Structure 1
Amino acid sequence: MPLRFRPLAIASVSLTLLAATAGYFFAGHAAPTASPANQSAKAVQVRSLNQQLSQHSSAQLPNPGALPVPLQGASHGVLLQADGNGQLRLQPELLQLFDFYFSAIDEEPVAQILLRIHHDLASQLHEPALAQARDLLKRYLDYRLAMADLPAGNASPSAESFAQHLEALTRLRAEYFSDEENQAFFSSDRSQDQFMLAQLRLNERGLSPEQQRHELALLEASLPAEQRTVRQQVSRDGELYAASEALRAAGASDETIYQLRASTLDPQAASALQQLDEQRRQWQARLQAYAAERNRLRQSGLSPTDQQLAIEQLLAQGFDERERLRVMALDAEL
């Protein structure tokens, strides 16, 4: 049975948790920070790619192929629906479908991710619901790209600055989504954001540790049952990730980290994370070897034409066709 995708699981990162900038759509963690001009150009390219795909019928869309490794065996589990008139039903899970594919943003190019989304929408819906879902995707992309213009956040925000951020976010959502859509897609987020704001205000009251624990327990009790469960899961996953990274930094063996994970998760999930760790290590080693040789070629004194040819040959020798697309997406300098 396919594993259901959990946006906040430690094995995957949803678009919601990614840096919401246009540059991140194309430049991965290993790439240099893109300039504002490059970010703007890439945002235009994202929109153009999406528009092109929106004009293709289901039969015209090529099969996107197997999911990238981190998503293999997982499923977003979202069944899209239309009403009796063929109109798209608004479901809170709609955005989760988009986020499921965007969670692989550092694994494959954005063009491939958009193809997967459009292929999924077209396989589940007919007109006019399909056109409405594609319009929603367009506005969701625009919304995420527009978030780059919001004031930069702070790792330790004050209650006042966080409240200002929430106000700006509310205005932005109203710009791209109807009242009905905002209620369907973001009501849970708003509840969690208000909880975080109340928690920040609580931290600023100068309470004793015992008083703070008591007040925090009252806040958590006020949350809907589903959100309390999510908070417990996120807290568990976050603590597990932090503990795993601390062990790794201290030089712990893979077996020790596996045992830690297996004591919290089931053995199958712990094994899957261990395999993912190894795949990422191998990939990073290949990337580093490629980057070192590429830099050597750039300093070799070859003419620009010969230099570019040598780099292309280096790519062809070290990576298959799919991997080359990924490397080029990660390397903003290419």
Structure 2
Amino acid sequence: MNRLSIGLVVISIIAFSIAALFLSPFLSNQQEATTDNHHLSVLKEEARHANETLFESPTTKGITELHKPDSLRGINFQADFKVSESNNLIPNYAIRELFDHYLSTYGEVEIDNIIALIQGEINESLQEPAKSEALALLKRYIDYKIELAENNPELSLNTDDGASYLEKIISAQSALQSLRKDFFNQAEYESFFGLEDTQNAYMIEQIRINTDPTLSDEEKRERLEQANMLLPDELVERRNRVQRHAQLREQVTSIQAEGGSQEEVFRVREEALGSEAASALAQLDEQRQQWSQRLNNFSKERKSILDSSLSDQDKATSIDNLIAAHFDTSEQKRVRAIMNDGQLDSN
């Protein structure tokens, strides 16, 4: 296994992108982001404050009473909460999926709106004491995300200190596990991250086998087959599902790159996911295209202002007015973040 392959496995294992799940819109250009640490610190503090405030005074509304972001309209996420006979919350992976489902929209809507939406799902699905337990779990999950964004496990493959690539990977995985255990009890940890730990252990074993110089190619093949047999059925199905989605994305990208029609894309998605999911993705494509067009139009008008003979103060005022005229309140912060990241300047 070469250095690039090991690096890709490391990224898969540690899943660095989730370290700043609801900060990702501001980290799309890493070089720009590292020069704006103050801006990111402000965003984290806003998230921390919103999380604390809404935990102390949660919304009393149900999800049907709250405004969903455009990207989630038409998508009915079935919250799969489980409770015991005494109506206590039973942690399961579906709860983490629900949290991440809404947190993925950060940048499109404010973090306090996202937290309220998740609380709305909880309000409509649970009664006490499970309701309060779910709200507390949500609070800790977002606190964990913030902490992970600030102190993510070391991902460097630099081995100048004498440590091997495998040792670096194991160390990073251990640090991630330790951080998670600071926020979740054993039942929560197992339900949220248990299968992920199993997959990571499997991937580490793959690296160990592939990089063992004492094994022949045939011995490596046999040991890898043995390792595959140890994976639980649920994890095998999840890996297969991820691979199918990845193949579908590649297929759609290829069709679009070759100038294929939206009907061709829809047919491919329909065959893989069904009509309802294909329709939802088509709607999302249209929304993204409209957003891109609006952003491009704004970028052109902004450039005209920047290239004008106005004073710096007048330019700033004109751009503020332009943003207010073209974008609603939730979109304005997203546009300003894109501007701060320098993405408009590269268009």
| Contact 1:95 1:185 survives alignment (8 Å) | yes
Q: Does 1:248 align with 2:253?
A: no
**Residues 128-174 of structure 1: CA deviation (Å, up to 9, x unaligned):** 44333232222212222222322453699943322111111111112
Unpaired runs of at least 5, structure 1: 1-15
- The residue identity in structure 1 corresponding to 2:33 is T
Q: Are residue 171 (structure 1) and residue 173 (structure 2) matched?
A: no
Q: 1:204 to 1:274 in 2, by over 3 A?
A: farther
* CA distance 1:130–1:59, shift in 2 (3 Å): same
What does residue range 172-251 of structure 1 map to in structure 2 within 5 Å? 172-205=179-212, 215-251=223-259
Give the whole-Å Cα distance in 1 for the aligned partners of 2:108 and 2:117.
13
Whether the 8 Å CA contact 1:25–1:110 is kept in 2: the answer is: no
Q: Could you say which residue in structure 2 is the equivalent of 1:289?
A: 297
Deviations 1:286-310 (A, max 9, x none): 1122133224324434345533432
Which residue of the partner structure matches residue 319 of structure 1? 327
Q: How many Å separate the matches in 2 of 1:138 and 1:43?
A: 14
Match of 1:132 in 2: 133
Please give the alpha-carbon distance, in whole angstroms, between the structure 2 residues aligned to 1:166 and 1:284: 37
Opposite residue 165 of structure 1, the aligned amino acid is: A
| 1:82 positional shift | 4.7
* 1: CA distance, partners of 2:193 / 2:142: 15
Change (3 A) 1:230 1:84: closer
- Partner of 1:142 in structure 2? 143
Aligned partners of 2:78, 2:262: CA distance in 1, in Å?
32
The SS at the match of 1:104 is: coil
Equivalent runs, 1:1-334 vs 2, <5 Å: 18-21=17-20, 24=23, 27=26, 29=28, 32-33=32-33, 35-59=36-60, 65-83=66-84, 87-148=88-149, 149-153=151-155, 158-205=165-212, 215-303=223-311, 305-324=313-332, 326-328=334-336, 330-332=338-340
Deviations 1:100-154 (A, max 9, x none): 1112234323222122112222333344443332322222122222223224536
Instruction: Give the CA deviation at 1:192.
Output: 1.2
249-258 or 41-50, which deviates more: 249-258
Using a 3 Å threshold, how does the CA distance of structure 1 residues 260 and 58 change in structure 2: closer, same or farther? closer
* Identical-pair percentage: 29
Q: Which has the higher helix share?
A: 2
Residues 316 and 235 of structure 1: CA distance in aligned 2, closer, same or farther (over 3 Å): same
Q: What is the TM-score of this pair, normalised by structure 1?
A: 0.79
> Any idea what the Cα deviations from partners look like across 1:72-117, whole Å, max 9, x if unmatched?
3333322435545554333332222211111223432322212211
SS of corresponding position for 2:177? helix
Letter in 1 for 2:199: Q
Structure 2 stretches of 5 or more lacking a match? 1-14, 159-163, 343-347
Contact 1:30 1:331 in 2 (8 A): no
- Pairwise CA RMSD of aligned residues? 3.5
Which residue type is aligned with residue 18 of structure 1? S
**How many correspondences in the alignment?**
319
Tell me the distance in 2 between the aligned counterparts of 1:306 and 1:94: 49
